[in-house]
Structure formats: structure tokens, C-alpha cells
Amino acid sequence: MKGVVFTGNRNCEVRNVPVPTPGHGEVLVRIGATGICGSDLHVYRAATASDQVRGHEPCGTVAALGPGVRRLRLGDRVTVFHHQGCGVCRECARGDPVWCSDKRLFGVTIPGSFAEYTVAMERNCIPMPAGMSFADGAFIACVGGTAYGALKRLDARPHEFLAVFGLGPVGLSCILVGRNLGLNVIGVDVVSERVELARKCGAAAAVNATEQDPVAAIEQFCGGCGADCLIETSGSAAGRRNILPSLRRGGRAAIVGVGSDEEVINPTHIHGKAATLVGSVVFPLAWAWELVGLCDRAGLSFEPAVTHRFPLVEAPAALRLADSGRCGKVLFVPQAD
């Protein structure tokens, strides 16, 4: 089968690699769609080469069953939670394999989803409703679930004002989920293409921070008192500097983006606004099940955030485009819906 590996300094190769064999409690998943994530791009830009097949947003069809599989059947369509976990430690028992010390993560320590097939633990596979696209399943595996997790941790409620800094795939997912949950959403970025995408994804307002003061725009959008909730996905120091000025008194913010390590948030300002700041790192396995249910019941789809689809053989072009930052979500689609 074909698989994509990163060879360092923004280069990649499409190689012929063996089709993996599912072990005990595992299934072979024929990939229907898998997304290029921002965390993939951090590795793509690095100088280090690796023979590991990358990708951690698996979604597809069960193609083979390993011994001990009890629930899934051949042909089932599944989205796959990307942190495998050991399944037996305290964190896995709590349903949070993200914190498992085994660190069994697709595309990092185990073969990933930039391939025609991948192997996944049955416990990580969530059946998809008949009407759900593989693109939606790929979002749920990581970026869509990350957006849902941030909103859950903020206890975001209908009719509140939500500001989203950074309008890449995670930020666009925050807009789509937030709008579906009944929030009034404003988005902020410095790339005109992504500002326009935010509007297409349902943001009531979207601001280019190179052309307009985002704090003033948010205050005006929220009736003069700042946002109830804010999600920072850009990972930039500039975005983080604007968190507290953009919140109303008593507002809540989630820091999701990875990037700058500059210390820009003053604890005195947190106290002065009685603000709540939380770090939000992906999401527990149970929340992936919740998000599948929300998509099914409420008609939530992440399709508006998808701008490009590529076959695996065009991986170099797909990664260059995603790395440019001038697009929405870029998907590999080895298998059509």
C-alpha cells in the first residue's frame, strides 16, 4: 500500500509500505479520509527525517478483524480516536487515553493514517451514522473534537458571545460547533482567505487583525462588554495578548493553539477581570462519542471548512498547500464515500 513519510525540511515521500496486520482487539481500517493537522505541519517543517507513516485523523471502513474483536463487523464505517492508550492504566480507565504514559499516538509512535490502511484498537473506533461523511469522521478524530472539547471545558451556552482567535481548521471547527450550539461567533485571523472561510462557516462577523483592531471589533460585536467565551487557536503571542482585553468581566478563555512560548499573560489582569483561563488539549474518548451523536442529531457537519482533497500520490502538493496557511482543511482521500 502507499504511505506518506516526512523526510525533513518540508519534504515528504509517498512510499510502498506493507499493509498492517491487526493484532488482538484490533481492526484493519481502510482509510476513507484523513486530514492534515497543524501538529503534522510542525513535524513536516522540522529537519528530522523519519520512516514513520504520518497522520493521526483516521476514518474509514473496517476491512479485517483481529482476534478478540467483539463489537465491530466487516464493512462498518468508523472514526478513530487518535490516542490509542494502553487501555489498562488509570488514565485510560477514566476514558482519557490522551494522558496515558504509553503515548501510543497515530503517526508518531505507531503507523499513522496518511496511508491506504491503518490498524486501530476496537475500543478507539466509533461507528459513524449512515449519513455522516468520511470528511466529518476525520474531523471528529482530532480537530473537530478538539474544538468541541474546548467549548465543553468553557461550559459555553446558547446565545453567549464567542470569539475565536486563529481560523485554521481548529478555529473553523470552533465556529461550526459554536454556531451549532447556538452561540454568537466572531472570528479573528491575519489571513484574508481564512477570514472569508470563517464567514462561510457561519461566523456572524470575522476580522482581519492586520486591517482592524480585533479587541475593538469584539467589544462592538458583543454589545460593548467583551466576549463571554474565547478560544485561542493561533498559538501566536499576539493572539494571546488579546485574550484578556477581549473578554468581558467574568469571561472564560481556552488556550488551544501550540506555538509561541512567550509569556504574555499577566496574572494581575486575570484577577482584575475575574477571568477563567483553561488549557484545552484535545479531548477525552467519551467526548468523541458525544460529538458523533451531536452531528447525527443536530445536523452538524465540518464540510464547510474543507477546501481541498488530494489522493495520497499528491502528498507533496497537499502538504505544501496546508503549510501555506492560505486554505481551510486539506484532506487525503484514498477511498471515496
Instruction: List the grid coordinates of 120.
Output: 486501530
Under a CB-based contact definition with an 8 Å cutoff, are residues 114 and 107 in contact? yes
Q: How many helical (H) and strand (E) elements, i.e. helices and strands, does the chain have?
A: 12, 16
For the chain, percent of residues with pLDDT exceeding 90: 90
39 φ, ψ to 5°?
Answer: -70, -30
- The span from the CA of 260 to the CA of 262, in Å, is 6
Query: What does the alpha-carbon distance between residue 23 and residue 308 come to, in Å, rounded to a whole number?
Result: 34
CA nearest to 189, candidates 216, 174, 171, 203: 171
Q: Residue 111 pLDDT > 90, yes or no?
A: yes
How large is the angle between the packed helices 285-298 and 134-141, nearest 10 degrees? 150
Q: What is the mean pLDDT of residues 130-136?
A: 95
The stretch 250-254 carries a mean pLDDT of 97
Mean pLDDT of 239-265: 91
Q: Which amino acid is at 82?
A: H
260: pLDDT strictly greater than 90: no
Q: Quick one: pLDDT at residue 47?
A: 94
Mean pLDDT of 266-290: 93
Res 143: pLDDT: 97
Does 2.40.50.140 match the CATH number of domain 145-279?
no
- Closest residue by Cα to residue 142 from 228, 207, 72, 233: 233
2-142+283-332: in CATH 1.20.1050.10: no
pLDDT tens across 39-74, in order? Answer: 999 999 999 999 999 999 999 999 999 999 999 999
* pLDDT at residue 263, as a whole number: 85
Work out the average pLDDT over 185-194: 97
- Full-model pTM: 0.95
Per residue in 11-26, pLDDT (tens digit) is 999 999 999 999 999 9
Write the secondary structure of 117-177 as one string of H (helix), E (strand) and C (coil): EEEEEHHHEEECCCCCCHHHHHHHHCHHHHHHHHHHHCCCCCCCEEEEECCCHHHHHHHHH
Domain ranges of the chain: 2-142+283-332, 145-279
* Integer Cα distance of 31 and 77 in angstroms: 10
Instruction: State residue 103's pLDDT score.
Output: 81
* Mean pLDDT computed over 98-102: 91
For residues 51 and 15, give the distance between their C-alpha atoms in angstroms, rounded to a whole number: 10
Tell me the pLDDT tens digit for each residue of 158-188: 999 999 999 999 999 999 999 999 999 999 9
pLDDT at 336: 55
- Quote the CA–CA distance of 170 and 186 in Å, as a whole number: 14
**Confidence category of residue 337, pLDDT binned at 50, 70, 90:** low
DSSP, res 325: T
Euclidean distance between CA atoms 301 and 137, whole angstroms? 10
Whole-number pLDDT of residue 266: 84
What is the C-alpha to C-alpha distance for residues 170 and 51, in angstroms, rounded to an integer? 27
Q: What is the mean pLDDT of the chain?
A: 95
Helix (H, G, I), strand (E, B) or coil at 234: coil
Q: What distance, in Å, lies between the first and last C-alpha atoms of the chain? A: 19
